[in-house]
């Protein structure tokens, strides 16, 4: 057992997994650009109050999972690693006066989030999200556009089957009455509730609805539904969102129990699942409208909507389907040589190739040619450049490992030959050609 391991709830992304993440990041960046989102980068930690106020104090994310940072100097400030991106981005929107920019301000960010939760399969203490936020647009059309963007992302990621769950959770006008109705519904059953749900009944009764405790299933099935109690404005908004989704041909399932864990959501709420895998820790991603958030963080009331799609669970789902592309060799070509001692020539040829844009590795060992060739083959590179006596005439041998062919090539033509050979390998039969290309 090695003395040090990655901290509990975190993991190292080894090259195959990292390249799967890289591909998802590329798909995310390309889609975000096509839909008019620009990149933002906020700090990985904020004043804890940004999350406490924004996300809501009585939520799992804050009560149980906020990754607080202990620090030595007593500056009277309290920090926390970001558990989600929206609060930090809206904080930045307010801080930088983005309300004076043309609205909506459409921002995207992909990066790690942190929740100090009990780790288990698909639940990590550090995980990655692709985030989209459109701030300053009250909808309803943009709500549909963002849901469609999420669906496009999953399709391009290789998960065509992803299902969309949709709900409206009302707003400050209609939710209080609904919460009162919900409290009244559960109150007579309070003694029967599991302890944690009993506590939630007093603090945040909405949370009971998405309880995954089997003891709650029957009770929850009869609970009043928010969609039956929406105020006229929220009802009209929800109807219009659904109308826009219909125009786009987006199929979804209405899920009245979908309330989302965070306080700041209003009206439209949605989540993405693999069919049949709906349950705790199974959501692939989710989002919703947060018209009250800017106000909570000290800004002017500003509507907004966004989503956070977890990348880790996508990679797990692709792995489970056997659809994770095996990682590419780091190099296109390896430069080997007949003279084991002549590392300088191999290094020089590889350096020239790299200057010409080719991913080339020189074998810098002093092993015999046979051993150098063996390790190049193991690396799954497409080409080997063999330096031998022909160099005296300005030539090298170029071996195509896939085709099993070999030819004499003038050193001056080598980079061009490798570039066109690499291209034909990349576009060869059986390669996946996602719009974002291969990473
Ligand atoms: P949430 O803000 O909780 O709805 O999270 C949005 C998405 O981030 C989820 O649907 C997951 O895909 C992902 N996610 C949230 N928490 C974790 C976690 N602890 N580990 C891995 N992925 C997570």
How is domain 15-174+230-320 classified at the architecture level of CATH? 2-Layer Sandwich (3.30)
Please report which confidence band the pLDDT of residue 430 belongs to, taking 50, 70 and 90 as the band edges. very low
The number of the ligand 1 atom at minimal distance from the alpha carbon of 311 is: 12
Please report which confidence band the pLDDT of residue 280 belongs to, taking 50, 70 and 90 as the band edges. low
pLDDT at 54 over 90: no
pLDDT score recorded for residue 263: 66
- For residue 114, which of 152, 153, 79, 160 has the smallest C-alpha distance? 79
pLDDT score recorded for residue 37: 98
- For ligand 1, residues with CB inside 6 Å are 84, 115, 117, 122-124, 127, 129, 261, 283-286, 308, 310, 312-313
Give the C-alpha separation, 277 to 286, whole Å.
Answer: 15
Distance from the alpha carbon of residue 165 to the mean position of ligand 1, in angstroms: 16
pLDDT at 228 over 90: yes
Domain spans in the chain, listed from the N-terminal domain onward: 15-174+230-320, 333-426
pLDDT score recorded for residue 439: 33
The number of the ligand 1 atom at minimal distance from the alpha carbon of 125 is: 19
Closest CA to ligand 1's atom 8: 310
pLDDT at 252 over 60: yes
pLDDT score recorded for residue 251: 97
Read off the tokens for 430. Answer: 């059986």
pLDDT score recorded for residue 46: 95
pLDDT score recorded for residue 420: 86
Q: Who has greater pLDDT, 159 or 331?
A: 159
pLDDT score recorded for residue 385: 97
Q: 152: helix, coil or strand?
A: helix
pLDDT score recorded for residue 322: 86
pLDDT score recorded for residue 281: 62
pLDDT score recorded for residue 410: 97
pLDDT score recorded for residue 437: 38
pLDDT at 431 over 50: no
pLDDT score recorded for residue 426: 67
Top mutation candidate among 310, 314, 318 for ligand 1, by most atoms within 8 Å of CB: 310
pLDDT in tens, 20-30: 999 999 999 99
Average pLDDT along the chain: 90
pLDDT in tens, 176-210: 899 899 899 988 988 888 887 888 888 888 888 87
Distance from the alpha carbon of residue 346 to the mean position of ligand 1, in angstroms: 48
Within 97-140, residue ranges assigned H as helices are: none
pLDDT score recorded for residue 72: 64
Q: Who has greater pLDDT, 347 or 296?
A: 347
pLDDT at 154 over 50: yes
Distance from the alpha carbon of residue 432 to the mean position of ligand 1, in angstroms: 28
Distance from the alpha carbon of residue 71 to the mean position of ligand 1, in angstroms: 27
pLDDT score recorded for residue 209: 83
Q: Who has greater pLDDT, 202 or 373?
A: 373
CA angle 331, 336, 337 (to 5 degrees): 165
> Quick one: what percent of the chain has pLDDT higher than 90?
67
Closest CA to ligand 1's atom 9: 285
pLDDT in tens, 300-341: 999 999 999 999 999 999 998 888 876 667 788 999 999 999
Read off the tokens for 439. Answer: 């990473």
- Pick from 145-159, 194-208, 215-229, 376-390: least confident: 194-208
Please give the class, per CATH, of domain 333-426: alpha beta
* Burial bucket for residue 294 (CB in 10 Å: 0-12, 13-18, 19+): buried
Distance from the alpha carbon of residue 246 to the mean position of ligand 1, in angstroms: 27
Distance from the alpha carbon of residue 310 to the mean position of ligand 1, in angstroms: 5
pLDDT score recorded for residue 434: 39
DSSP 203-237: H-THHHHT---GGGHHHHHTS--GGGS--HHHHHH
Give yes or no for a cis peptide into 140 (omega within 30° of 0): yes
Type and span of the H or E element at 165? strand 163-168
The number of the ligand 1 atom at minimal distance from the alpha carbon of 308 is: 6
pLDDT at 278 over 90: no
């Amino acid at each position: 057992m090695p003395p040090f391991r990655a901290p509990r709830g975190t993991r190292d992304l080894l090259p195959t997994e990292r390249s799967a993440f890289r591909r998802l990041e590329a798909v995310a960046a390309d889609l975000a650009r096509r839909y008019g989102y620009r990149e933002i980068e906020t700090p990985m930690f904020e004043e804890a109050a940004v999350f406490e106020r924004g996300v809501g104090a009585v939520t799992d994310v804050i009560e149980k999972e906020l990754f607080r940072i202990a620090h030595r100097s007593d500056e009277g400030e309290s920090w926390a690693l970001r558990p989600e991106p929206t609060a930090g981005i809206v904080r930045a929107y307010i801080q930088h006066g983005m309300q004076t920019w043309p609205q909506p301000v459409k921002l995207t960010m992909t990066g790690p989030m942190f929740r100090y939760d009990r780790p288990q399969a698909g639940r990590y203490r550090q995980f990655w999200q692709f985030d989209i936020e459109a701030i300053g647009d009250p909808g309803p059309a943009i709500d549909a556009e963002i849901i469609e963007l999420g669906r496009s992302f999953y399709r391009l990621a290789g998960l065509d089957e992803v299902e969309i769950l949709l709900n409206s959770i009302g707003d400050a006008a209609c939710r209080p009455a609904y919460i009162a109705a919900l409290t009244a519904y559960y109150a007579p059953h309070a003694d029967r509730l599991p302890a944690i749900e009993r506590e939630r009944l007093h603090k945040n009764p909405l949370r009971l609805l998405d309880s995954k405790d089997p003891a709650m299933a029957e009770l929850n099935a009869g609970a009043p539904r928010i969609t039956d109690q929406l105020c006229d404005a929220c009802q009209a908004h929800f109807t219009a969102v659904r109308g826009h989704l219909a125009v786009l041909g987006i199929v979804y399932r209405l899920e009245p129990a979908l309330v989302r864990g965070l306080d700041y959501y209003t009206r439209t709420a949605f989540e993405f699942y693999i069919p049949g895998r709906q349950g705790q820790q199974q959501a692939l991603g989710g989002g919703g409208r947060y018209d009250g958030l800017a106000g909570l963080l000290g800004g002017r009331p500003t509507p907004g909507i966004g989503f956070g799609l977890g990348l880790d669970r996508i990679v797990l789902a692709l792995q489970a389907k056997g659809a994770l592309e095996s990682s590419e060799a780091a190099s296109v070509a390896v430069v080997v040589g007949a003279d084991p001692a002549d590392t300088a020539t191999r290094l020089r040829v590889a350096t020239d190739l790299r200057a010409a844009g080719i991913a080339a590795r020189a074998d810098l060992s002093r092993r015999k040619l046979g051993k150098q060739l063996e390790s190049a083959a193991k690396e799954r590179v497409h080409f080997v450049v063999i330096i031998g006596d022909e160099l005296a005439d300005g030539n090298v041998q170029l071996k195509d490992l896939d085709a099993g062919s070999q030819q004499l090539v003038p050193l001056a033509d080598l980079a061009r030959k490798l570039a066109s050979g690499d291209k034909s390998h990349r576009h060869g039969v059986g390669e996946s050609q996602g719009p974002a290309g291969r990473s």
